[in-house]
Structure 1
Amino acid sequence: MKTTSQILSISLLMLVTACIGQAKQEEKKATTNQSGNIVKTAVGEITLPLPYATESKTNSSKVIKWPEGKTPIAPQGFTVTKFADGFDNPRWTYIAPNNDIFVVESGTRTSKNQITIFRDSDKDRKFETREVFLKNLNKPFGMLVLKDFFYVANTDGLYRYPYKNNPLKLESQGEKILELPAGGYNNHWTRNLIANADGTKIYISVGSGSNNGENGMDKEIRRANILEINPDGTGEKIYAAGLRNPVGMDWNPVNNELWTAVNERDDLGDDLVPDYITSVKLNGFYGWPYSYYGNIPDPRMKGADKDLAAKAIVPDVSVGAHTASLGLAFYNKDSFPAKYKNGIFVGQHGSWNRAKIAGYKVVFVPFVNGKPSGKPEDFLTGFVASEDKAEVYGRPVAVTVMKDGSLLVNDDSGNTIWKVTANK
């Protein structure tokens, strides 16, 4: 027969053993339930799944014609109308200082590789003139009027043309002032442009030539960057790097930070890696191709350049994986309700590397005091005809704020530019 002390010892041992077992079970449970990497962004924590948590899928959308009379859907209090149609892949829009509106048609085999101008001569908000402004270009995208020059970013170089007295057509020969790397993975052909406030610097976005550096980093020289140059093409330097495919760029109207929309990498699963919008720090590195969302390693890089990856900046706002978020514009006018003031609109061209399609809409990110204050919310929807069939009516790209406060949205696949106006 066991003594009382022996019974107590056995009971204590059983209790300790049970506690240890429970602790191990809890530890195992916590590890098992760890669905991925928790990242702190400017608008709160997000959990990113582990690489290959789902199989990488190819699910390209099929574009079908917009039904007669149907338009995208904006929130209550807004009206959506057709600004113009009859384009051939209207990829980007630029509004010049004199309020002329320029639209590039580029990016597909049938695109005209030209720029069309819209002019409202009598300022009645109706554009009487629609003309071909410049043609025979090589996948044009970014446009810029700066002093006496009109700049065009073709996929292989930056050109400038003499531009005086606001012509309706450019007849003179352009000068190639900067060679740019062309070609590469998944049509990262867009080269966007923006100038600083005093016009002394131009910034050029150049996407990567690969998904994750699979062709060798020697093929990525000057790519996955935002470049800075002088207006004559000299003085090039890398303003920021590690941005897989930066496209839309705009200046924060509150603190004058440069912001961009970035397409992240593919083939890691349905929810990796989320595209993002972010402030762009001078000399900042944003991870590509070694890591993402800070120093989360891309497994395909096998630990290459850990020191550089350790310095990678976490982007400010996730806008969803594979959404192809391309357009970006701060809303700096007063026509829309107060909640939109100084926030960002993002044009999402839509996924191809996801089991269920994502994107195909315009989202809005609210800002307060120059900082993002909430997660993206739907603003312009209705582009998806059938999610199950992956059928869409169109694909938004550029989002451009007009002088009167209306918003233009380029639907390049629907060959239409939509105009969103706040009801009075």
Structure 2
Amino acid sequence: MTSKTRKTIIVIGIVVLVAAIIFYLVLRPTRAEYTDAQLTGPDPVIAEADEETFPSIALAEPAGWAADATPTAAAGLSVARFAEGLDHPRSVFTLPNGDVLVAETRGPASADGGGITDWIMGLFMDRVGAGGVSADRITLLRDSDGDGQADQRSVLLDGLHSPFGMALRNGRLIVANTDALLSFPFEVGQGRITAEPEKLMDLPGGGNHWVRNVLYDAEGDRLFITVGSASNVAENGMAEETGRAAIHEYDFATRSHRLFAVGLRNPNGLAIQPSSGELWTTVNERDMIGPDVPPDYLTNVPVGAQYGWPWVYWKTYVDERVEEPMPNFLTEYTRRPEYALGTHAAPLGLVFADGNGLGGAYDRGAFVARHGSWNRVPKSGYDVVFVPFDARGNPEGETPLPVLTGFLTEDGEDAHGRPTWLAWDNAGGLLVSDDTAGIIWRVTGARSPASARAGSEPTR
């Protein structure tokens, strides 16, 4: 090795070392000042915003589960594996005959390769087990002997485009790709769909948030569709956000659609509250103003509701980073969310109890899967929680009850898995998808094995 080569190697080493130090000093997360309990509930602490030039990073790398390991179920509950060996299972949907559909899916690749931001986010996603090529399929799981474990599986649909939401209606399976709402001819019990779909409507594609969840209204005549924002706080302009940060409504009778509610940065879970018939959703709030603000949330969504994104959060707090002019009426008409779920906890899956599920303290309220933070110390989420509701259909209690914990490793640094989506099976068990571990967990309570449940979606 020549002297010149040695000097070149030394210079490169110094540059890399300096870059690593700068990266650590700039991107290391600021430790949160408030506890998870202070940042949850109907009246959370709203901390002072502290704008970040670069996002704080606190990634939980996937550690996997030992062969006999499970998350920790709360007292009175049990958890076991319903299915495993899946490729990034996200949404879960139960059919009236008990078959369970699972979307094995990831976000789509950027059409133009993306810029530096997309590249960096790609590295982050790879580190937490969310990167890679999407399987783009829906798999059917069947528990033929009723023992609580799937013993049969088949690929129901493939060749999709980052599929997520699923619904059933009049002999059709509705599937939400990231860029279109599709309708396939389907009979319950069928193991494979080969027919071409009908496109019901286009959906905004691209951008940061690719998930498109769907749910029928209480009557089963209209379909709600979630579409998250294309950015954090409209930093690329509002033109790019057309039709986004919103819940859409598709009317089957008129084959038309409209914006049902807006200003929701990234709505994911959808569920109808049993006693009121109201639509509720989970929402992932904005980043890069500190580890303690603003809280993600669970809220009801009346028609025409405005929740403030990108200009406003938690009804009265203005985000000074947004360059687009704020509408004059916004602060007056922005709704306050009903219940905070912690900051950066990434609440996704949502289902309501209706008296036929886990029993005990879990009879009346909402179950939420909190996928987990990537930019907070200590980490938040990585659990399934239960928000009790009162008899009038409103959340009660200052903090949610634990249902499944133990997804983080003992030192809190890495994650065995990440809870993603929730669905009831037809025997009263709560199915929980764990995307990075490739597992569907099944949670049962005292009443679950003897409870018979009808299919969760209209079949009219």
Compare the two structures and name the one with the higher strand fraction: 1
Alignment match, 1:352: 374
Counterpart AA for 1:309: T
Alignment match, 1:28: none
Which 5+ residue runs of structure 1 have no aligned equivalent?
A: 1-34
Give the counterpart of 1:320 among 309, 321, 342: 342
Alignment match, 1:46: 44
Q: Judging changes above 3 Å, is the alpha-carbon distance between structure 1 residues 42 and 410 closer, same or farther for their aligned structure 2 residues?
A: closer
Alignment match, 2:396: 373
What's the CA shift for 1:123? 5.3
Q: Distance in 1 between matches of 2:99 and 2:389?
A: 29
What's the CA shift for 1:126? 5.1
Q: Judging changes above 3 Å, is the alpha-carbon distance between structure 1 residues 213 and 69 closer, same or farther for their aligned structure 2 residues?
A: same
Q: What TM-score, normalized to structure 1?
A: 0.85
Deviations 1:38-58 (A, max 9, x none): xxx995432211100899511
- Report the structure number with the largest CA radius of gyration: 1
Alignment match, 2:190: 167
Q: Distance in 2 between matches of 1:173 and 1:93?
A: 22
Q: Distance in 1 between matches of 2:156 and 2:70?
A: 28
Deviations 1:67-122 (A, max 9, x none): 23111001122111011000010011001223221000001423311101123456
Report 1:213-232 matches (<5 A).
213-231=234-252
Give the counterpart of 2:139 among 92, 109, 116: 116
What's the CA shift for 1:335? 4.1
Alignment match, 1:74: 73
Higher deviation after alignment, 92-101 or 78-87: 92-101
Q: Judging changes above 3 Å, is the alpha-carbon distance between structure 1 residues 47 and 126 closer, same or farther for their aligned structure 2 residues?
A: closer
What's the CA shift for 1:162? 1.0
Does the CA contact (< 8 Å) of 2:221 and 2:253 recur in 1?
A: no
Q: Distance in 1 between matches of 2:101 and 2:395?
A: 30
Does the CA contact (< 8 Å) of 2:349 and 2:368 recur in 1?
A: yes
Counterpart AA for 2:389: F
What's the CA shift for 1:165? 5.2
Report 1:188-207 matches (<5 A).
188-207=209-228
What's the CA shift for 1:413? 0.5
What's the CA shift for 1:275? 0.5
Report 1:15-414 matches (<5 A).
44-52=42-50, 56-107=55-106, 108-121=131-144, 125=148, 127-164=150-187, 166-185=189-208, 188-231=209-252, 234-301=255-322, 304-369=326-391, 370-374=393-397, 375-387=399-411, 390-414=413-437
Does the CA contact (< 8 Å) of 1:138 and 1:155 recur in 2?
A: yes
Which 5+ residue runs of structure 2 have no aligned equivalent?
A: 1-32, 107-130, 448-460
Q: Distance in 2 between matches of 1:169 and 1:294?
A: 47
Q: Distance in 2 between matches of 1:413 and 1:245?
A: 21
Deviations 1:348-390 (A, max 9, x none): 11111213211111111001111111132222100000455x2
Counterpart AA for 2:170: K
SS of the residue corresponding to residue 110 of structure 1 reads coil
Aligned length: 384
Does the CA contact (< 8 Å) of 1:139 and 1:155 recur in 2?
A: yes
Deviations 1:189-212 (A, max 9, x none): 000010123321011000000100
